[in-house]
Amino acid sequence: MSGHWKNLFYSIHLLLIGIPFLILVNCNQTENDYNISSKPNFVLFVADDAGWHDVGYHGSEIKTPNIDKLANSGVELNQFYVYPTCSPSRAALLTGKYASRFGIGEPIAMKSEQVLPTNVKTLPEALKQVGYQTALTGKWHLGLSLESGPGHYGFDYTYGYLHGQIDQYTHRYKNGDRTWYRGNEFIDEKGHATDLITNEVINYITKVREKSSPFFIYVAYSVPHYPLQEEDKWIEPYKNINDADSRKLFDASMAHMDFSIGRIIQTLEDEKLLENTIAIFISDNGGQESWYPEKESKIKLYDGKFGPYPKLGDNSPLKGYKAELYEGGIRVPAIIFWKNHLKHNKVEQLIKVTDLFPTLTSLVDSSLTQSLDLDGENMWDFISIEEQINEEREIYYRIPDQFALRRGDWKLIHFGNTLGEGREELFNLKNDPNETKNVVKDYPKVRNELFKALENQINLDSGY
């Protein structure tokens, strides 16, 4: 569907469903004349390392009634793709660009000074242009110092931690560094990170925010990423499951997060905000298979208090885990919920994490992204219409030692530091969604086309 026809189709759809914040704007108004209170709020929930089969509505043993309710009442994005690790996914989410454009291909860790460039416009910065308040509670992971924290990238209100993982109670990073902060200073607090992040969101919604302005809240949980620490009340429902103890802890952390998401949704309901709030739930990458701390570092991580965890996330029936470009590492649970605006639906269209930026901003002012040269596209047509519309799309990955490109049903993975070395695997995801058969030798023409597209994408990257 061309851009022209997409825009026409979208305009007709808006008239049909009667979204008031758009149809009440007449053609003589400027952006400053918009009725700011009628714009939708956005609450974006991001789980850390939740796999495809780690939510109840995908058949998991984990009880996630609140996430399931969002899925059963909202739109399930059944082919939603992120990066196989956290920093690249978060960079792509906030910028609408592939993370490799900034040289971000893996988690920013330990003493790294790598940061998201400050000269790239972010989603919160764009929303601020049209009157939004912006807040982040939880994980940042795009710069490990206060000088490169989210307050420098468009967030007005910031709280949580800068690194990629933490002890849930001491809130320290794996090498002992302080990372828990509020605004521009490190702080010490008591409590489980899941509860603290949730309480902060609720406090922001009920007390902190300016009530006359719309808001964007990025709620980035620390779980179910290791290390896992949960009270008995969360573990009890899983004690008798015939599985590894580490998996039971993982289940408990997911259930704890689900309960917390329910608290936030109920707060929005109590404050009479839910009907004008778009809630989104995603995971930042697929589930991690296991964690053996002695294999990760020569230093004693978390003073040796945690692990090993022989079993963590579950991506079945998808192949692969976190840090891999197989489907289990990059295809994740994703939901968009908007009470009384979106009907329950399952969307099979390929949607990328880079699409969130242009899709959300299209609901308030499509001109916000016109000059940004994004890798994502506005996918609201596909999300909001019950009738299935499928369009062949392309998605590109570049991480250390691996490249991948999907076009339509075909997916090519190149294993190697450069395209000039290594080996390749080709899959047809329509016929083989679980990537059981490498057909690279059977379809040389398809392989060559995807390989050429990979070369073209690599030429657009910088920072490597």
Q: What is the pLDDT of residue 402?
A: 97
Same domain, 310 and 453: no
Residue 18 domain flag? no
Whichever domain contains 224, its CATH number is 3.40.720.10
374: left (phi over 0), alpha (psi -120 to 50) or beta: beta
How far is residue 171's CA from residue 161's CA, in Å, rounded to a whole number?
Answer: 8
User: What's the start-to-end Cα distance of the chain, in Å?
Assistant: 34
Same domain, 321 and 420: no
Q: What is the pLDDT of residue 462?
A: 77
pTM attached to this predicted model: 0.92
200 CA to centre of own chain: 20
Residues above pLDDT 70, as percent of the chain:
92
Same domain, 355 and 416: no
Q: What is the DSSP annotation of 367-421? A: GGGTTS--S----HHHHH-SS------EEEEEETTEEEEEETTEEEEEESSSTTS
pLDDT tens column, 45-98: 999 999 999 999 999 999 999 999 999 999 999 999 999 999 999 999 999 999
Residue 413 domain flag? yes
The domain of 323 spans 41-384
Same domain, 404 and 442: yes
Same domain, 250 and 324: yes
| C-alpha angle 198-201-203 in degrees, rounded to nearest 5 | 110
Q: State the total domains in the chain.
A: 2
Residue 316 domain flag? yes
Residue 6 domain flag? no
Same domain, 308 and 380: yes
Residue 24 domain flag? no
pLDDT tens column, 404-413: 999 999 999 9
Q: Choose one of 384, 415, 449: the last residue of a domain.
A: 384
- pLDDT above 80 for 14: no
Same domain, 341 and 192: yes
Same domain, 58 and 188: yes
For range 429-451, the mean pLDDT: 98
- pLDDT above 60 for 35: no
pLDDT tens column, 352-362: 999 999 999 99
Same domain, 376 and 408: no
Residue 463 domain flag? no
- pLDDT above 90 for 36: no
Same domain, 433 and 323: no
Whichever domain contains 399, its CATH number is 3.30.1120.10
Same domain, 310 and 441: no
Q: Choose one of 384, 413, 446: the last residue of a domain.
A: 384
**Positive or negative torsion for Cα 138, 82, 288, 422:** negative
Q: Choose one of 384, 405, 436: the last residue of a domain.
A: 384
Residue 437 domain flag? yes
> Which active-site residues does the annotation give?
86, 141
Same domain, 405 and 290: no
Q: Is 338 exposed, middle or buried (0-12, 13-18, 19+ CB in 10 A)?
A: buried
- pLDDT above 60 for 345: yes
Q: What is the pLDDT of residue 132?
A: 98
Residue 187 domain flag? yes
CB 67 within 8 A of CB 256: no
CB 73 within 8 A of CB 344: yes
